[in-house]
Amino acid sequence: MVEYGLTEILMKGVFMKHILSFDIAKGKSVYCFIDELRNIIIDASLIEHKKDEFDLLFNKIKDYPNLIVIMESTSIYHLPVENYFRSKGIDIVVMNPKLVKQFQDTLNKSKTDKLDCFKIARCYLGTIDHFYQKQDEYFMYNPLARQYWSLIETRLKNRYRQLIDIVFPEFALIFNDLYDDLALNFIHDFPHPVLFVNRKIDYLMNYLKKKNGTTQAYRFKNKVLKMKELASNSLCFVAFDSFQVQNLVQVIEMIQYHKSEINKIKNQLINEMKDKELFKIINSIPGFGEFSTALFLAEVGDITRFDDKYQFISFIGIDSITSQSGVSAYHGPISKTGCKFGRTILFNIVTTILQISAHTDKTNSIYLFFRKKQSEGKHHYKCIIACETKLCKIIYKLCSSDCLYENK
């Protein structure tokens, strides 16, 4: 039985947080249940990832006010626990493991599952909870965003390009983009030069017309003539029925499947978010398209939860590391602690803005700020980081004031 003093009694009820902390493992976890004053309500206990066990635990804690469930992000293993309590309408906080480790390093070096679940809870209580990715109407789509990132990883594309170089490197001279649908379809059906070198020109022209969805076959005449010439002079050293050719076809099918899934994710994210207020605001900023807006919100969540723009910048991880001693201070590189994919999106947005503005709209505020930093002699990369920081400030100001972007 937990005994409270006068101060605790006054805080208890409406104001007191009750924290269920998990140290997650594969198929099981260790949890503890404490209040905001670190009083232990349920000591560290083992729980299997089974519904009946979680139902028993939920029945023990459900009547406590201001419930919060805390856990580290652990690849996929925390997802069943997160989803269970999310379905019960309880606030979820998924913490950055790097932040937890930094906090643990300041405590004793002993490490057990029982100690870890308490340390995770104490880390939450001892730091600013704005930095954690809470469940909200935007961050609930984070699993879709992470599926997108996994589908665009480069290993499959690298294998595809490697096989092209083995089988028929001249494909790169025929198609400007080896990853567009026309190139993928053609190479899938004709993966070896011997399969099309003796085909009639009209046949190949009509094939490309059909795959490209156009009505004018003559547009592909030069491409067909070029591919037949390259095929007749090729030093291809693998047979058309070789393992490499078969593997090339398999890899293309995997790439095509990934592209299909990516398009589904893009459409779903846009359709689910397009009517939300923060989506409309961020989408009004030049450089942000519908998908980049939806993807960014799925990664960072509700931006209005931050108290100021500096918390938001720190969460993204583009705040500089500062070391100060006495009167001297050193501003080092960016921390890179926080939302990795949020930084990736911002980098892509800034580079897109700079590329477009250099040829069209040179009045864009980000472009003008980039040129200003360049004129100060800043390194290109530092100019990019400065633009990302400025963009974060713009995003935070617009979202916190509920205003659309206006270029001044």
Residue 352 in any domain: the answer is yes
Token pair belonging to 299: 């990664």
Last residue of a domain, one of 135, 168, 189: 135
Residue 18 in any domain: the answer is yes
Q: How confident is the model at residue 41 (pLDDT cuts 50, 70, 90)?
A: very high
215 with 129, same domain?
no
Q: Alpha helix (H) ranges present in 242-339?
A: 243-273, 277-283, 290-300, 309-316
| Predicted TM-score of the model (pTM) | 0.73
Q: Which of 252-261, 307-316, 317-326 has the lowest mean pLDDT?
A: 317-326
Classify 46 as helix, strand or coil.
strand
179 with 239, same domain?
yes
pLDDT at 329 over 80: no
Last residue of a domain, one of 237, 264, 291: 264
254 with 233, same domain?
yes
User: What is the number of structural domains in the chain?
Assistant: 3
Of the two residues 95 and 228, the one the predictor is more confident about is 228
Q: In what order do the strands lie in the sheet with 91-95?
A: 40-48, 28-35, 18-25, 67-72, 91-95, 133-134
pLDDT score at 3 = 45
86 with 162, same domain?
no
Stretch 45-72: mean pLDDT, rounded? 92
In 3D space, the residue among 35, 214, 30 whose CA is nearest the CA of residue 114 turns out to be: 30
Residue 145 in any domain: the answer is no
Distance of CA 29 to the CA centre of its chain: 26
pLDDT score at 134 = 54
pLDDT score at 224 = 93
pLDDT score at 326 = 52
Q: Which of 221-235, 255-269, 323-337 has the lowest mean pLDDT?
A: 323-337
pLDDT score at 179 = 93
Most confident range (mean pLDDT) of 129-143, 276-290, 394-408 is: 276-290
88 with 41, same domain?
yes
120: CATH: 3.30.420.10
65 with 181, same domain?
no
What is the overall mean pLDDT for the chain?
A: 86
334 with 374, same domain?
yes
Residues 124 and 92 sit within 8 Å (Cβ to Cβ): no
233 with 300, same domain?
no
Domain range for 322 is 277-401
Residue 144 in any domain: the answer is no
Helix, strand, coil tally for the chain in percent (to 5): 55, 10, 30
Q: Give me the DSSP letters along 117-155.
A: HHHHHHHHHHS-GGGSEE--TTGGGHHHHHHHHHHT-SH
Burial of 52 (0-12, 13-18, 19+ CB in 10 A): exposed
* Percentage of the chain modeled with pLDDT above 70: 88
Cβ neighbours for 183, distance < 8 A, ≥ 6 positions apart: 171, 174, 175, 177
Residue 140 in any domain: the answer is no
211 with 95, same domain?
no
Residue 96 in any domain: the answer is yes
Last residue of a domain, one of 69, 101, 135: 135
228 with 282, same domain?
no
Residues 289 and 368 sit within 8 Å (Cβ to Cβ): no
Residue 271 in any domain: the answer is no
Token pair belonging to 394: 């713009």
Q: How confident is the model at residue 13 (pLDDT cuts 50, 70, 90)?
A: very low
Q: How confident is the model at residue 15 (pLDDT cuts 50, 70, 90)?
A: low
